[in-house]
Structure 1
Amino acid sequence: MAQLPSGPLRRPQQHEEIADYLRDEIFAGHIPAGESLPSEVELCEQFNTSRGPVRQAVATLRAEGLLSSGRGRRSLVLSNTRTETFEEILSNTSWMYRMGKDPSEQVEQFGRDTADATLAECMRINEGDEVFIVRRVRSADGEPMVIEEMAFQPELAEAIEAVDTSEQSIHRELIRAGADFNNISRAFIIEQADAETAGKLGIEEGAPILRVKIKALTHNGEVLEAAVHTYRVDNLSFGLNNVRGHSSPLWFQTESSIQ
Structure 2
Amino acid sequence: MGTEVQDRKEHQQHREIATFLRAAINGGEFPPGRPLPSEAELTEKFRTSRGPVRQAMATLRSEGLVSSGRGRRTIVLDTVPTQSFDGVISYSEWCRQSGFEPGQVTQSVTRHAAGPVLAAGLDIQPSDHVVSVFRLRLLNGRPAMVERLNYPLAVGRHILTFDTDSGSIYQHLIESGVDINNATRTIDAIGADPDDARLLEVAEGTPLLRVKRRGFSSDGRPIEFSDDRYLQGTASFTLNTVRGNPSPLSMVPTE
> Which TM-score applies when normalising by structure 2?
0.76
How far apart, CA to CA, are the structure 2 residues paired with 1:135 and 1:78? Answer: 38
Q: 1:96 is aligned with what amino acid?
A: C
| Match of residue 175 from structure 1 | 174
| Match of residue 113 from structure 2 | 114
Matches within 5 A, 1:203-214: 203-214=202-213
Q: Structure 1, unaligned stretches of length 5 or more?
A: 1-16
CA contact (8 A) 1:37 1:76 kept: no
Q: Structure 2, unaligned stretches of length 5 or more?
A: 1-10, 41-47
Q: 1:230 is aligned with what amino acid?
A: R
Matches within 5 A, 1:58-77: 58=58, 62=61, 64-73=63-72, 75-77=74-76
Greater fraction helix: 2
Please give the secondary structure, in 2, of the residue aligned with 1:138: strand
Q: Which moved more, 1:138-147 or 1:95-104?
A: 95-104
How far apart, CA to CA, are the structure 2 residues paired with 1:147 and 1:168? Answer: 15
Please give the secondary structure, in 2, of the residue aligned with 1:127: coil
* Structure-2 change in CA distance of 1:177 and 1:38 (3 Å): farther
| Match of residue 24 from structure 2 | 29
Matches within 5 A, 1:77-226: 77-226=76-225
Specify which structure has the bigger relative contact order, considering alpha-carbon pairs within 8 angstroms and separated by 6 or more residues: 1
> Which TM-score applies when normalising by structure 1?
0.75
Number of aligned residue pairs: 231
How far apart, CA to CA, are the structure 2 residues paired with 1:167 and 1:27? Answer: 32
Shift of 1:107: 1.4
How far apart, CA to CA, are the structure 1 residues paired with 2:247 and 2:121? Answer: 24
> Computing the radius of gyration over CA atoms, which structure comes out larger, 1 or 2?
2
Please give the secondary structure, in 2, of the residue aligned with 1:28: helix
How far apart, CA to CA, are the structure 1 residues paired with 2:215 and 2:221? Answer: 8
Q: Which moved more, 1:153-162 or 1:82-91?
A: 153-162
Please give the secondary structure, in 2, of the residue aligned with 1:236: coil
* Structure-2 change in CA distance of 1:23 and 1:81 (3 Å): farther
Q: 2:164 is aligned with what amino acid?
A: T
Please give the secondary structure, in 2, of the residue aligned with 1:171: helix
What per-residue deviation string (whole Å, max 9, x for no partner) do you get for residues 151-173 of structure 1?
11222234324433323211112
